[in-house]
Amino acid sequence: MSYIANTPGQQAAMLQKIGKASIADLFESVPEPVRLDRLLKLPPSLSEVELTALAKKLAGQNRHPGELACFMGAGAYDHFIPAVVDSLASRGEFVTAYTPYQAEASQGSLQVFFEFQTLICQLTGMEVANASLYEAGSGVAEAVMMAMAATNRTGPVLVAGTVHPQYLETLRTYTANLEPEIRELPCPAGYLDPAHLNAAVNDSTPCVVVQHPNFDGSLEEIEELARISRAKGALFVQVFDPVSLGLLKGPGELGADIAVAEGQGLGSPMSFGGPYLGLMACREALVRKLPGRLVGQTVDRTGKRCWVLALQTREQHIRREKATSNICTNQGLYAIRASIHLAALGPAGLRETAQHCLDKSHHLLRLLMEKKVGALAFERPFFKEFRFRLADEMPGAALCVDQLVGNGFLAGVPHPANPRDLLIAVTESRTLEEIEGLANALAALKGSAGRGA
């Protein structure tokens, strides 16, 4: 353990204090078969100069939206971030806050979290929102466990097959040792058929989870799905895109009991996959099952308005095994960024942003269709992202993406269900020149299908 700065004498004193003869004795509870009996396979040590040069070389292999026109999506989107977001969120008071507990929480942090909750309620049309979760995947799992606790039902949890596969994988991990089965409902037409859900849901179903817009970017028959779920007493969980709510009805209006989203598109960069921001809101009747932090407004002993962490009894740091959820913190800095972003845009700005996404994505689809590059995988309405099936004379989706990096494009995300399908997202950040450039670049690959899958 040469990386530990304690001297041999200090180590001996500590071992004597705890009654151990050697450092190896600290690991005696670890079974022999799983102990590593060799040195780690690490490269030779480097000087600081050499290590810095190596790190720069490795970082230089990354490609990002700052240098390429990004049409990638699948849960992370290159939305424009107004300068005011970085300017305000980079203040030291915000950057250095580390999600403290009640006794240490500053009034400034609590106030901005309260405002964040208010903004999320206004955005979604829901009655209560928490002070954020980690990201959408764990948010879906938290929503399902919240529904199980609220309904006391142990039947299968029904999840539309069009929910983001990583969210579904996270949900299965969270619930691996819990009683309810996670049942994925097939969606062969690219959306969950209400008739299929009606046949599957019953009086033992704790909840139904549907994403709208879904993983393919398509819109679901969401109001009918919510009605069917609630008619059987199951809670309806909607996974939503916050930017889409500039044009689409909010989860509260659509009949959701719990709403969950990835908030990365609200003022946070893609950051090579994280950290991100989980949004969660629910009906007021479910507030005592809501996981995470909830900031409330009250008055102090002098009658001045102030803010406190409220309804904390379900959190791990107080109730432990009795808690609805083990989460006991939140994505404070990213919640602040989302608050600044939403406040700066306002309702009109969010609507304009969403309209740009809608118009530009449909413009790209029209160009691709005109150039006979392929067609929609499913004839469904979409918002800013669509699942595009490449024509037979085109290379496979992965090869198209690889080849177009050299043309200056991150062309999309190969769909995990079909090697010929490409998920293409178009945000307000993409210019008409970039959109037309991608269409031309893809069209130039026609006839090269024999060069790769």
pLDDT value of position 102 = 56
Q: Which of 275, 309, 342 is the last residue of a domain?
A: 342
pLDDT value of position 325 = 83
CB-based contacts of 129, cutoff 8 Å, min separation 6: 116, 117, 118, 120, 121, 279, 280, 281, 282
CA distance 386 to 230: 29
Residue type for position 374:
G
Whether 59 is in a domain gets the answer no
CA 299 to centroid of chain Cα atoms: 35
Q: What is the pTM of this model?
A: 0.89
pLDDT value of position 101 = 59
Q: Which of 276, 310, 342 is the last residue of a domain?
A: 342
State which residues form the domain around 377. 69-78+347-451
Question: Are 365 and 216 found together in one domain?
Answer: no
Per-residue pLDDT of the chain (453 residues; tens, 9 = 90+): 466 688 889 999 999 999 999 988 999 999 999 998 898 999 999 999 999 999 999 999 988 888 999 999 999 999 999 999 999 999 988 887 665 555 567 888 889 999 999 999 999 999 999 999 999 999 999 999 999 999 999 999 999 999 999 999 999 999 998 888 999 999 999 999 999 999 999 999 999 999 999 999 999 999 999 999 999 999 999 999 999 999 999 999 999 999 999 999 999 999 988 899 999 999 999 998 999 889 999 999 999 999 988 876 555 556 666 777 878 778 989 999 999 999 999 999 999 999 999 999 999 999 999 999 999 999 999 999 999 999 999 999 999 999 999 999 999 999 999 999 999 999 999 999 999 999 999 999 997 765 444
pLDDT value of position 453 = 47
Do residues 78 and 270 make contact, with C-beta atoms less than 8 angstroms apart? yes
Whether 7 is in a domain gets the answer no
CA 337 to centroid of chain Cα atoms: 15
Question: Are 276 and 351 found together in one domain?
Answer: no
pLDDT value of position 96 = 74
Closest CA to 311 of 335, 279, 287: 287
Question: Are 412 and 427 found together in one domain?
Answer: yes
Whether 24 is in a domain gets the answer no
Whether 351 is in a domain gets the answer yes
In which element (H, E) is residue 440 found?
helix 432-443
State the DSSP string of 206-226: -EEEEEES-TTSBPP-HHHHH
- Give me the CATH number covering residue 127: 3.40.640.10
Question: Are 401 and 282 found together in one domain?
Answer: no
Question: Are 386 and 425 found together in one domain?
Answer: yes
Whether 52 is in a domain gets the answer no
Alpha helices in 258-309 (DSSP H): none
- Residues constituting the chain: 453
pLDDT value of position 103 = 58
Question: Are 205 and 323 found together in one domain?
Answer: yes
pLDDT value of position 160 = 98
Q: How many domains does the chain have?
A: 2
pLDDT value of position 63 = 86
Whether 20 is in a domain gets the answer no
Question: Are 256 and 377 found together in one domain?
Answer: no
Whether 31 is in a domain gets the answer no
pLDDT, tens digit, 9 for 90 and up, residues 213-258: 999 999 999 999 999 999 999 999 999 999 999 999 999 999 999 9
Q: Which of 342, 375, 403 is the last residue of a domain?
A: 342
Question: Are 173 and 240 found together in one domain?
Answer: yes
Question: Are 293 and 318 found together in one domain?
Answer: yes
E strands along 391-433, which residues? 409-410, 413-414, 421-425
pLDDT value of position 236 = 98
Residue type for position 430:
R
CB-based contacts of 275, cutoff 8 Å, min separation 6: 134, 135, 331, 334
pLDDT value of position 452 = 45
CA distance 374 to 29: 59
- Give me the CATH number covering residue 446: 3.90.1150.10
CA distance 357 to 359: 6
Question: Are 214 and 279 found together in one domain?
Answer: yes
Whether 61 is in a domain gets the answer no
Do residues 263 and 146 make contact, with C-beta atoms less than 8 angstroms apart? no
Question: Are 301 and 257 found together in one domain?
Answer: yes
Question: Are 327 and 240 found together in one domain?
Answer: yes
pLDDT, tens digit, 9 for 90 and up, residues 2-22: 666 888 899 999 999 999 999
